[in-house]
Amino acid sequence: MALGLTGCSGDRAASGDGGSVTVFAAASLTESFTKLGRDFEAAHPGTTVTFNFAGSSALATQITQGAPADVFAAASPATMKTVTDAGDAAGDPVTLVRNQLVIAVPKGNPHRVGGLADLARPGTKVALCAAQVPCGAAAERALDAAGVRLTPATLEQDVKGALAKVKLGEVDAALVYRTDARAAGTELDAVEFPESARAVNDYPIVVLTHAGNPAGARAFVAYVRSDAGRAVLTAAGFQAPPSR
Q: Which helix (H) or strand (E) holds 202?
A: strand 201-207
Q: Mean pLDDT, to the nearest integer, of 25-30?
A: 96
Tens digits of per-residue pLDDT, 198-224? Answer: 999 999 999 999 999 999 999 999 999
Distance, CA of 204 to CA of 32 (rounded, Å): 15
Phi and psi dihedrals of 142, rounded to 5? -65, -45
Q: What percent of the chain has pLDDT over 90?
A: 89
Judged by DSSP in three states, 241 sits in coil
Is there a contact between 192 and 104 (Cβ–Cβ < 8 Å)?
Answer: no
pLDDT at position 244, please?
A: 57
Q: How confident is the model at residue 8 (pLDDT cuts 50, 70, 90)?
A: very low
* Amino acid code (one letter) for 113: V
- Measured N-to-C along each axis, helices 30-43 and 214-225 cross at an angle, to the nearest 10 degrees, of 110
Distance, CA of 190 to CA of 104 (rounded, Å): 5
Q: How confident is the model at residue 16 (pLDDT cuts 50, 70, 90)?
A: low
Cβ density class 7-22: b for 16+ within 10 Å, e for less: eeeeebbeebbbbebb
Distance, CA of 100 to CA of 207 (rounded, Å): 25
Tens digits of per-residue pLDDT, 94-117? Answer: 999 999 999 999 999 999 999 999
Tens digits of per-residue pLDDT, 114-125? Answer: 999 999 999 999
Tens digits of per-residue pLDDT, 139-176? Answer: 999 999 999 999 999 999 999 999 999 999 999 999 99
Distance, CA of 166 to CA of 125 (rounded, Å): 10
Q: What's the chain's average pLDDT?
A: 92
- Residue 14 above 50 pLDDT? no
* Amino acid code (one letter) for 242: P
Q: What is the pTM of this model?
A: 0.88
Q: What angle do CA 139, 141, 143 make, to 5 degrees?
A: 65
